[in-house]
């Protein structure tokens, strides 16, 4: 999963910098590619089609809405700031999970869980303050993505409860509905004429390879998310969160190396604190619910 997302992040960063329409163009193409792949798989019986009903699709609607907002916001963020900065801010997702669960769902957690959030929040804040390429749109995009994915996870748990749909098929259905939600807004906000000009400019700058970049990032996007849902289908969310921490370290380090992102010592310290806090949160949560 780490390698798949690293490839996706690299291609997405290149795509959103060359084609400055991350909300309307890059994201719908990614959803469309994944949806097409799964429709072909179902039609050819390579994958068993899911057995769904009206209640399933009703429960999936809020998940798809949160999924759409979360990924569009992340894509917008990466079009404005470095991939590493986006992922450092997104490492604060556990803090959003606890706060949303506490204030909106009324769930309470032991004191060690709350204390483990302090290095996450502090590390993210330190990184944001010292980021050389800080951009408010990029920062807010990453924060909104965190919040949206928290709601997506909450709605996913409720939607999958009692349903015999595999993780792979669940994400495929999620992609289809997310595409239906996003496409009208994409057309209304920017539209085909703006996209056509953007594509011409991008292709004229780097040649036909740009088309292959977009296709590749669309495939990686689907594969990364599909593998994530397949993993969640086999392991507990707590185990997955530990792996997610290691994934972020790999993505942050590889993106800094690939994109030659300038990093100040204080900025690196903030990132390290945030990542350590995320790992600490995972460990504390595991021990809390184990005992």
Instruction: Convert the pLDDT of each residue in 61-98 to its tens digit.
Output: 999 999 999 888 888 888 788 777 888 888 788 888 88
Cα–Cα distance between 268 and 253 in angstroms, integer?
A: 10
How do the residues of the chain divide into helix, strand and coil, expressed in percent and rounded to 5? 85, 0, 15
Nearest to 94 by CA among 64, 121, 70, 67: 121
Instruction: Convert the pLDDT of each residue in 88-145 to its tens digit.
Output: 888 788 888 888 878 877 778 888 888 888 888 888 888 887 776 778 888 999 899 8
Alpha-carbon radius of gyration of the chain: 19
What residues contact residue 170 under an 8 Å CB cut-off, 6+ apart? Answer: 50, 156, 160, 163, 229, 233
CA 85: distance to chain centroid? 14
Q: Can you read off the two tokens belonging to residue 124?
A: 């993210």
Nearest to 142 by CA among 195, 95, 206: 95
Instruction: Convert the pLDDT of each residue in 151-209 to its tens digit.
Output: 887 777 666 666 678 888 888 999 999 999 988 887 777 667 766 777 777 777 777 77
């Amino acid at each position: 999963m780490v390698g798949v997302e690293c490839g996706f992040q690299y291609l997405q960063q290149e795509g959103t910098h060359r084609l400055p329409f991350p909300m309307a163009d890059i994201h719908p193409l990614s959803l469309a590619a994944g949806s097409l792949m799964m429709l072909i798989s179902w039609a050819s019986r390579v994958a068993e089609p899911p057995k769904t009903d009206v209640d399933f699709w009703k429960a999936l609607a809020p998940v798809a809405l949160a999924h759409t907002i979360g990924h569009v916001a992340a894509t917008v963020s990466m079009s404005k700031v470095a991939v590493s900065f986006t992922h450092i801010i997104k490492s604060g997702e556990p803090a959003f999970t606890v706060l949303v669960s506490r204030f909106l769902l009324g769930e309470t957690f032991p004191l060690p869980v709350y204390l483990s959030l302090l290095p996450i929040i502090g590390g993210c804040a330190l990184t944001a303050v010292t980021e050389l390429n800080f951009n408010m749109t990029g920062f807010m995009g990453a924060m909104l993505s965190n919040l949206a994915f928290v709601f997506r996870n909450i709605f996913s748990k409720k939607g999958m409860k009692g349903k015999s749909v595999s993780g792979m098929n669940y994400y495929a259905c999620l992609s289809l509905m997310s595409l239906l939600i996003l496409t009208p807004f994409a057309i209304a906000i920017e539209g085909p004429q703006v996209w056509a000009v953007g594509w011409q400019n991008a292709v004229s700058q780097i040649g036909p390879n740009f088309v292959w970049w977009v296709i590749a990032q669309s495939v990686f996007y689907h594969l990364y998310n599909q593998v994530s849902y397949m993993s969640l289908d086999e392991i507990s969310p707590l185990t997955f969160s530990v792996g997610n921490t290691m994934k972020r370290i790999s993505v942050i380090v590889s993106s800094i190396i690939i994109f030659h992102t300038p990093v100040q010592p204080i900025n690196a310290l903030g990132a390290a604190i945030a990542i350590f806090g995320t790992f600490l949160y995972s460990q504390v949560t595991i021990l809390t619910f184990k005992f």
